[in-house]
Structure formats: structure tokens, C-alpha cells
């Protein structure tokens, strides 16, 4: 059975799309991720409340390739996003008004070959991203550390 709808795991996860690349930061774990091409496209569908079942149909309509492989690759990609706690299961779509427009916009007659989605994970900034400087200050604010933490 497919988990049908997902939503971004906010406020633990923040994201920004820059020149077609989706950069995602999991503030709880301290990891950041990159999504390009089909991965970024699938992310956009998730972000706009499109179900996993509909995402699969859209990708099959838009790209050429073995349908069974496409289904498995998309399910695996969504599972990776769930495991990394970037998205969480949802009961219903979040952006219904935007959903229909996106579905119509992405139907294409010239089909490029399907390239499996990829979640690129970076762990090199974990310590920095999980720092909590807010709790290391007093009423004077940051950058003044609490006096008792300096001893």
C-alpha cells in the first residue's frame, strides 16, 4: 500500500530552491541535502500536495522508461525522504488549489529518458547545524555568553 500524501517536516526541516537545486536542511539531525533534476521535480510535487500515486503517474507520462522501474525508484526515493525525516506522511493534500495547475503544466509529449531520483546527503556541517546558541545566552543576548558557562 502506498503512503499517499506527504508534507515537509517543518519546523525541523527548512528548504530553498536555488537555480533548480533544492537545498534541504534537517535542523534536528544537522544534515543537509541536495536534490537536482527529477529529484527536485518530485520534491515540488510533494511540496504542492500531490499524492505519491499521482506523482508516479505524472513521471510516467513525462519520462520514458520501464514503468515498473519508475514506480520502484519513486517509492524508494520517497522512502529515503521519510527515513531521513525530511517529509512525514499526511492524510490529505496541503495545496489543493495549486495541485491541478501543476498536474496540467507537467504533461509533456516529448519524453526524455527517466533518470532515477537521488537524495544527496551531506554530514560535514552536523556540529554547526545542531548548535543551539539561543540557550547559551542570558538576557543580554548574543554574542554575550552566560557568565556561568565561561567558568
Q: pTM for the whole thing?
A: 0.76
Q: Residue-wise over 39-54: b if at least 16 C-beta within 10 A, else e?
A: bebbbbbbbbbbbbeb
Tens-place pLDDT, residues 23-81? 999 988 999 999 999 999 999 999 999 999 999 999 999 999 999 999 999 999 999 99
The residue ranking higher by pLDDT, 148 or 34, is 34
SS3 14: strand
**H or E element in which residue 34 lies:** strand 31-35
CB 33 within 8 A of CB 121: yes
- The one-character DSSP state at 11 is T
Query: How far is the C-alpha of 114 from the C-alpha of 83, rounded, in Å?
Result: 24
Amino acid at each position: 500500500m502506498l503512503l499517499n500524501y506527504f508534507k515537509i517536516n517543518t519546523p525541523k526541516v527548512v528548504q530553498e530552491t536555488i537555480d533548480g537545486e533544492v537545498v534541504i536542511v534537517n535542523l534536528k539531525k544537522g544534515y543537509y541535502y541536495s536534490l537536482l533534476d527529477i529529484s527536485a521535480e518530485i520534491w515540488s510535487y510533494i511540496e504542492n500536495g500531490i499524492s505519491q500515486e499521482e506523482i508516479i503517474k505524472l513521471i510516467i507520462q513525462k519520462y520514458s522508461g520501464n514503468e515498473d522501474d519508475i514506480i520502484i525508484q519513486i517509492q524508494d526515493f520517497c522512502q529515503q525522504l521519510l527515513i531521513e525525516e525530511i517529509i512525514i506522511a499526511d492524510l490529505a493534500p496541503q495545496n489543493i488549489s495549486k495541485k491541478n495547475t501543476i498536474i496540467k503544466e507537467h504533461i509533456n509529449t516529448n519524453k526524455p529518458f527517466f533518470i532515477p531520483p537521488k537524495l544527496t546527503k551531506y554530514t560535514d556541517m552536523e556540529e554547526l547545524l545542531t548548535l543551539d546558541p539561543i540557550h547559551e545566552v542570558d538576557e543580554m543576548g548574543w554574542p554575550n555568553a552566560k557568565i556561568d558557562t565561561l567558568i
